[in-house]
């Protein structure tokens, strides 16, 4: 099958990671199948027979963020084995310490890992390649989740939900607002054969139906975390933990300020290449709203 590869570059003061996340979601709704990010921007792939230039131009013209200029170049890629392309050019097995390996179904199995996760991503995000996912996985590997009730908010590929199940969590809810990510999460949960993970499409408004939680993982971005932290705190059990990532080291003070206002005590910060993950604890039944 022939594919069109589009490389999108953006001119904006908005964090490129946020733009890429939103752009990938928009493109997924018009047939784009997989995405990678790099120094040149976001590269998106679509089967040539599904490409509709008018639909693409309409999506870009209606991009939901203001003051974002998006340009793109494209090239035709003829008849390739796309599993082989992912394996050769981008998605290689990711090993986190000696405990966890994340691989695609087209990679051979590797022995010796306590937590082998199979992910067939439709995007570059949420595979463990990105620093924030890597940091959050590292936190889960240190935890005892036996019998815990867990929320994976903004689940993407559901890799955090899947690892939580492997670590013994009793009940896991995986929520993502994007239909395309939601479908990918379901696919990956099936690949790993877990029946105690429920996927839900939506935003923070969906949390109340399944609350309360012992642990909440929210690997999203700074603005969404700030907007929704009150909801996370309200539906976290007293003594429970909220782990957040998707932002830079310099954003920690504003994240900590909002956490404190919601009765969350920041215990520590983990860092990788200026990206961070923070652990907060709800020490009392305090709620500011």
CATH of the domain at 146: 3.40.50.150
Question: 91 pLDDT exceeds 50?
Answer: yes
* In-domain check, residue 100: no
Are 27 and 181 in contact by the 8 Å Cβ rule? The answer is no
Query: Domain ends where: 23, 45, 80?
Result: 80
* In-domain check, residue 115: no
Same domain, 147 and 208: yes
Which H helix or E strand runs over 243?
strand 236-248
- Ranges of H-type helices in 117-251: 131-141, 159-166, 179-191, 222-234
Mean pLDDT throughout 38-54? Answer: 87
Q: For position 72, what pLDDT does the model report?
A: 95
* In-domain check, residue 106: no
Which H helix or E strand runs over 253?
helix 252-261
* In-domain check, residue 289: no
Same domain, 146 and 270: yes
Q: Which of 97-101, 201-205, 208-212 has the lowest mean pLDDT?
A: 97-101
* In-domain check, residue 221: yes
Query: Domain ends where: 65, 80, 95?
Result: 80
Mean pLDDT throughout 150-165? Answer: 95
Same domain, 134 and 74: no
Beta-sheet pairing, 213-219 with 149-153: parallel
Same domain, 278 and 152: yes
Same domain, 145 and 211: yes
CATH of the domain at 73: 3.30.70.920
Same domain, 162 and 240: yes
Residue 138 burial (C-beta neighbours within 10 Å; 0-12, 13-18, 19+): middle
Same domain, 140 and 274: yes
Structure tokens at 256: 């900590």
Residue 182's CB is within 10 A of a number of other CB atoms, namely 20
Mean pLDDT throughout 259-281? Answer: 94
Q: For position 179, what pLDDT does the model report?
A: 78
Are 86 and 104 in contact by the 8 Å Cβ rule? The answer is yes
Identify which has the larger pLDDT, 205 or 1: 205
Band (pLDDT 50/70/90 cuts) for residue 44 is: confident
Q: Which of 13-22, 118-127, 133-142, 212-221 has the lowest mean pLDDT?
A: 118-127
Same domain, 269 and 146: yes
Query: Domain ends where: 80, 98, 116?
Result: 80
Q: Which of 13-27, 53-67, 112-126 has the highest mean pLDDT?
A: 53-67
Mean pLDDT, the chain, as a whole number?
88
Question: 121 pLDDT exceeds 90?
Answer: no
Range of the structural domain that residue 206 is part of: 126-282
Whole-number percent of the chain with pLDDT over 90: 56
* In-domain check, residue 92: no
Band (pLDDT 50/70/90 cuts) for residue 226 is: very high
Mean pLDDT throughout 22-29? Answer: 85
Question: Who contacts 262 (Cβ-Cβ below 8 Å, separation ≥6)?
Answer: 229, 230, 232, 233, 286, 287, 288
Band (pLDDT 50/70/90 cuts) for residue 124 is: very low
Mean pLDDT throughout 92-118? Answer: 89
Question: 286 pLDDT exceeds 60?
Answer: no
Question: 129 pLDDT exceeds 70?
Answer: no
Question: 83 pLDDT exceeds 60?
Answer: no
Beta bridge partners of 117: 102
Q: For position 39, what pLDDT does the model report?
A: 77
Q: For position 205, what pLDDT does the model report?
A: 96
Q: For position 88, what pLDDT does the model report?
A: 60
Task: State how many domains the chain has.
Answer: 2
Mean pLDDT throughout 232-259? Answer: 95
Same domain, 232 and 135: yes
How distant, in Å, are the alpha carbons of 7, 17, 102, 233, 234 from that of 284? 48, 34, 36, 11, 11
Identify which has the larger pLDDT, 109 or 80: 109
* In-domain check, residue 35: yes
Q: For position 158, what pLDDT does the model report?
A: 94
Residue in the structure block whose two tokens are 């001119």: 11
Kindly report the pTM of this predicted structure: 0.75
Q: Which of 121-125, 146-150, 206-210, 273-277 has the lowest mean pLDDT?
A: 121-125
Residue 16's CB is within 10 A of a number of other CB atoms, namely 14
Q: For position 125, what pLDDT does the model report?
A: 53
How distant, in Å, are the alpha carbons of 46, 116, 205 from that of 101? 29, 5, 33
Residue in the structure block whose two tokens are 């203001």: 66
Band (pLDDT 50/70/90 cuts) for residue 156 is: confident
* In-domain check, residue 21: yes
Same domain, 134 and 67: no
């Amino acid at each position: 099958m022939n594919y069109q590869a589009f490389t999108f570059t953006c001119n904006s003061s908005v964090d490129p990671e946020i733009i890429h996340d939103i752009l990938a979601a928009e493109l997924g709704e018009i047939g784009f199948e997989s995405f990678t990010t790099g120094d040149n921007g976001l590269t998106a792939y679509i089967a040539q027979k599904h490409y509709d230039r008018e639909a693409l131009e309409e999506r870009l013209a209606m991009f939901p963020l203001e003051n974002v200029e998006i340009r793109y170049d494209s090239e035709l890629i003829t008849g390739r084995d796309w599993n082989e392309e992912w394996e050769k050019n981008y998605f290689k097995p990711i090993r986190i310490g000696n405990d966890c390996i994340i691989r695609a179904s087209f990679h051979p199995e590797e022995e010796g890992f306590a937590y082998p996760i199979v992910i067939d991503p439709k995007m570059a995000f949420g595979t463990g390649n990105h620093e924030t996912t890597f940091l959050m996985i590292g936190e889960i590997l240190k935890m005892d989740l036996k019998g815990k009730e867990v929320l994976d908010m903004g689940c993407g590929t559901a890799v955090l939900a899947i690892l939580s199940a492997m670590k013994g969590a009793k009940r896991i809810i995986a929520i993502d607002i994007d239909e395309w990510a939601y479908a990918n999460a379901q696919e990956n949960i099936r690949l790993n054969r877990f029946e105690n993970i429920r996927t839900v499409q939506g935003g923070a408004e969906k949390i109340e139906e399944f609350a309360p939680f012992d642990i909440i993982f929210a690997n999203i971005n700074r603005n969404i975390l700030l907007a929704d932290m009150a909801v996370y705190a309200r539906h976290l059990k007293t003594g429970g933990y909220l782990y957040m990532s998707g932002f830079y080291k310099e954003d920690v003070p504003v994240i900590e300020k909002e956490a404190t206002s919601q009765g969350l005590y920041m215990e520590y910060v983990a860092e990788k290449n200026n990206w961070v993950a923070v652990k907060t604890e709800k020490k009392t039944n305090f709620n500011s709203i």
